Amino acid sequence: MNWFPDYQYILASKSPRRQQLLKMLGLDFKVVIKDTEEDFSGELLKEEIPVYLARLKAEPFLNELQPNDLLITADTIVWLNGHAMGKPSTATEAKKMLNDLSGNEHQVISGVRLTSHEKYCEFYSTSNVQFKQLTESEIEHYISKYKPFDKAGAYGIQEWIGLIGITHIEGSFYNVMGLPVQKLYEKIVGF
């Protein structure tokens, strides 16, 4: 049985995790990448940031969408102490991010946009995540072995650091991976 409306689904994301999650959902889709600068105004706060970035990622497709296309764009941030953490560029940045997260609770916020030829829908999901106090050697091991430079906040919950370091999560586990799949499912079915 096919649960999804009859669209040609396009995922505009390089993220292997988002691709994996959509496959697990049973959605038949193709991946199309258009590079977009992920810059945002310092006036945006919390959930406004990933929703804005998901909207920004949809813009290059707007004049190309066919009547039966449904584009999925998404972005995820880590929010700690009133600031957004993006993806680290270097091991030094990753180490700083993980030290900041260590022993603290933070929020992971994913923004998603569904865009068709005629309409769109934007939404977000927030998960609260608590890290134990990480040791320097745990942080260094994780960065050197897993190279988390494509992940907001410099970590993947599904990787070693999540297994040994996350003590509590409130909200969607898959949202922390980068895509709130349950909420996305509901929005697609209702689109």
Residue positions annotated with a catalytic role: 75
What is the bridge-based pairing of β-strands 69-80 and 8-11? Answer: parallel
C-alpha radius of gyration, the chain, whole number: 17
CA dihedral 95, 100, 101, 104 (to 10 degrees): 150
CB atoms closer than 10 angstroms to residue 90: 10
Scored b (16 or more CB within 10 A) or e, 133-151 reads ebeeebbeebbeebebeeb
